[in-house]
Amino acid sequence: MTIMGTLLLLAAEAGELAEGAEGGGFGLNFNPLETNLVNLAIVIGVLVYFGRGFLGKTLNDRRDKIEAAIRDAEKRKQDAAAALAEQQQKLAQAQAEAARIRSEAEASAKRAADAVLAASEQEIERMRASAAQDLATQQEKIINELRQRVVTLAMQRAEDELRTSLSHDTQARLVDRSIAMLGGQS
Binding residues for other proteins (CB under 8 A): 1, 4-5, 8, 11-12, 15, 18-19, 21-22, 24-30, 33-40, 42-44, 46-47, 55, 58-59, 62-63, 66-67, 70
Q: What's the min distance (Å) between Cβ of 67 and other proteins?
A: 5
Backbone angles phi, psi at 109, to 5 degrees: -65, -40
DSSP state of 167: -
Q: What's the min distance (Å) between Cβ of 94 and other proteins?
A: 39
Tell me if 27 sits within 8 A of 21, measured CB to CB: yes
Nearer to other proteins among residue 55 and residue 162 (C-beta): 55
Q: How far is CA 73 from CA 49, 68, 136, in A?
A: 36, 8, 92
Tell me if 26 sits within 8 A of 10, measured CB to CB: no
Nearer to other proteins among residue 63 and residue 126 (C-beta): 63
Nearer to other proteins among residue 44 and residue 96 (C-beta): 44
* Length of the chain counted residue by residue: 186
Q: What's the min distance (Å) between Cβ of 30 and other proteins?
A: 6
Angle at 182 between CA 177 and CA 186, to 5 degrees: 145
Nearer to other proteins among residue 12 and residue 136 (C-beta): 12
Q: What's the min distance (Å) between Cβ of 81 and other proteins?
A: 19
